[in-house]
Amino acid sequence: MRLGRSCCAVVITCCLAGASAITTTASAKDASPTTSGLPLPRYVSLKSDHVNVRAGPTKDNDVAWVYTRSGLPVEITAEFENWRRVRDSEGAEGWVYHSLLSGRRTAVITMKSKDDLAALYERADPGSAVTARLQAGVVAQVRHCGLNWCHVIGNGFDGWIEQQRLWGVYADEKVD
């Protein structure tokens, strides 16, 4: 399936016993203390090319699907002990064990149409030379973001892209 997610015929449910103890917030600045001490929500990436996503935050819960693409960005939306509820760029949500996640920042190229290509520039300036054109769904490592531009690298490309073209970086977020 797209972006390395293999779906099973299991329905993910978010109605869990004790779910009221899980912290979710729309803004990191309003976040209550979390298990990790880090803000919610936040972006991370998958550490492995085999990551089980479960219907709830224990190994007793069924595996809903398996991610098969290392480096894929996901957004952590909640924490429960050593488990993290994640959402991917397609909106699918489930629970992943914390050690399968990495703080390395990556992003997915997004476009209005799958057939459109995103320009990658030599500098953070649309007047600079175009170094590549990337398809929607390409995953890039985020090196730096600021002033609505991000420096990204990947297999065969290196350049600057408008921040709005990325899923995996918040609007106006600075990444160093």
Of the residues 104, 122, 148, the one at which a domain ends: 104
Of the residues 104, 131, 148, the one at which a domain ends: 104
Does residue 175 sit within a domain? Answer: no
State which residues form the domain around 135: 108-167
pLDDT digit string (tens) for 71-120? 999 999 999 999 999 999 999 999 999 999 999 999 999 999 888 999 99
For the chain, give the mean pLDDT: 86
Q: Give the residue among 97, 103, 90 at the shortest CA–CA distance from 58.
A: 97
Does residue 172 sit within a domain? Answer: no
Of the residues 71, 104, 137, the one at which a domain ends: 104
Q: pTM for the full model?
A: 0.81
Q: Locate tokens 């921040």: which residue?
A: 163
pLDDT digit string (tens) for 44-77? 999 999 999 999 999 999 999 999 999 999 999 9
Q: What is the pLDDT of residue 103?
A: 97
Does residue 147 sit within a domain? Answer: yes
The sign of the dihedral angle between the CA atoms of 83, 68, 106, 86 is: negative
Residue 71, C-beta contacts closer than 8 angstroms, at least 6 positions apart: 45, 46, 104, 106, 139, 141
pLDDT tier for residue 33 given thresholds of 50, 70 and 90: confident
Is residue 60 domain-shared with residue 84, that is, in the same domain?
yes
State how far the Cα of 81 lies from the Cα of 73, in Å rounded to an integer.
21
Percent of the chain with pLDDT over 90: 77
Is residue 98 domain-shared with residue 127, that is, in the same domain?
no
Query: In this structure, how many other beta carbons lie within 10 angstroms of the beta carbon of residue 102?
Result: 14
